[in-house]
Structure 1
Amino acid sequence: MAGHIIHVHGTIPAPPEQVWEVITDIAHADDVLRSVSEPYLLTEGEYDVGTTWRERRTLFGHHGPEELQVVESEPPRRTVIEAEVGHDVIRTAYRLTPAGPDHRDTRLAMTTTVVMSGRSPMSRAMWAMFGGFSYDRTRRVLEHDLEDIEAEACRRALSA
Structure 2
Amino acid sequence: MTSHSISLSRHIAASVEQVWKVVTDIPRAADTLSGVTRVEMFTEPPYGVGTRWRETRTMFGKQATEEMWVTAVNPPRSTVVEAESAGTHYTTSFTIEPEGQGSTLTLIFAGEMVSDSRWKKLLWKAFGKIGVRASSKAMTTDLADIAAAAEKQAEPDRFSD
User: What is the TM-score normalised by the length of structure 1?
Assistant: 0.91
1:68 is aligned to 68
**One-letter amino acid of the structure 2 residue matched with residue 138 of structure 1:** S
Q: Give the CA deviation at 1:40.
A: 1.3
Deviation at 1:59, TM superposition (A): 6.5
| Structure 1 counterpart of 2:144, from 147, 150, 153 | 147
- The number of aligned residues is 157
Structure 2 counterpart of 1:50? 50
- Unmatched runs of 5 consecutive residues or more in structure 1: none
Deviations 1:74-120 (A, max 9, x none): 000000000111211111000001111xxx31111100001112241
1:46-125 pair list within 5 angstroms: 46-57=46-57, 64-100=64-100, 104-125=101-122
The runs of at least 4 aligned residues of structure 1 exceeding 6 Å deviation read none
Q: 1:59 to 1:48 in 2, by over 3 A?
A: farther
In 2, Cα distance between equivalents of 1:96 and 1:108: 5
Offset from partner CA, 1:109-141 (integer Å, 9 cap, x none) = 100001112241221122212221111111000
In 2, the alpha carbon distance for the partners of 1:119 and 1:11 equals 40
Does the CA-based 8 Å contact 1:18-1:156 persist in structure 2? yes
Percent of aligned pairs with the same amino acid: 36
Please tell me whether the aligned partners of residues 2 and 124 of structure 2 are also in contact (alpha carbons under 8 angstroms): no
Q: Name the Cα RMSD after superposition.
A: 2.0
Task: Structure 2 unaligned segments of length 5 or more: list them.
Answer: none
CA distance in 2, matches of 1:90, 1:57: 15
Residues 4-19 of structure 1 aligned to structure 2 (within 5 Å): 4-19=4-19
